[in-house]
Amino acid sequence: MSELTRQILKANKSFVKQSLSQGGFDEVSKYPSRNLAVLTCMDTRLLNFLEPAMGLARGEAKLIKVAGNTAFEDFDSVIGSLMVAVYELHVHDIIVMGHDDCGMLKTTADSLCRHMAEEGIDEKAIAAVRPKLEQWADPITDIDASVCDTVRRLRANPYLPSSLTIYGMVIHPHTGEIRVVDDGEGQEQRYYESGHTTNERPRRRPRGDDGVDPGY
């Protein structure tokens, strides 16, 4: 057994023992009680930090983490996750949460390709992925602008409904202070002005088409 596995299992044993000694955890629904999904970065400084800074508790929101909190394709794993959150799990609001001092500000296609070559990745494989890396990594030069660009892309995404309200925010990884770069103002108004009524606003089903809890 590897050292990492031993460390995790040791911590888990202590965690479970302490939980059981306190009567265990309350059962929490898989459906976010605040109908909220947060697309944020995988930065280590946000672990056990972002949620309390946002006032979020266990069971209140879906969290999707990806380097640079970006979604630059019409469909990828990020969009797929948001589709599940919206269409299966009653999410009505999405927050794109960037953070200051993001590593993606210094990450480029050149740096990634150079490190891949140093690790022995095949040259043909590097050449094949470089255009995608240039499209993804190179445009991230300003966090506020990058968050706003992701918000814009999500609003324009053909697979996400216009009834969503999408916000852009940035958190400081040391102080926890959050600033709003796009507050979503006017999205619901535009939805209703486009001919929809309040009664038409979607009430998304909490279960799959077969009526079975999907368990996400």
Instruction: List, for residues 108-132, the tens digit of each pLDDT value.
Output: 999 999 999 999 999 999 999 999 9
Report residue 162 as tokens: 């216009």
Q: Are 57 and 34 in contact (CB under 8 A)?
A: no
Q: Over 50: is that where the pLDDT of 48 sits? A: yes
Mean pLDDT of the chain: 90
What would the pLDDT profile of 57-66 be if each residue is shown by its tens digit? 999 999 999 9
Mean pLDDT of all residues in 10-29: 93
Half-sphere exposure of 118 (CA within 13 A, CB side): 6
pTM for the model stands at: 0.86
Q: What span, in angstroms and rounded, lies between the C-alpha atoms of 179 and 171?
A: 6
**What are the structural domains of the chain?**
32-102+142-185 (3.40.1050.10), 105-139 (no CATH)
The torsion angle over the Cα atoms of residues 196, 197, 202 and 203, rounded to 10 degrees, is: 180
Rounded to an integer, the average pLDDT of 14-32 is 93
pLDDT number for residue 135: 95
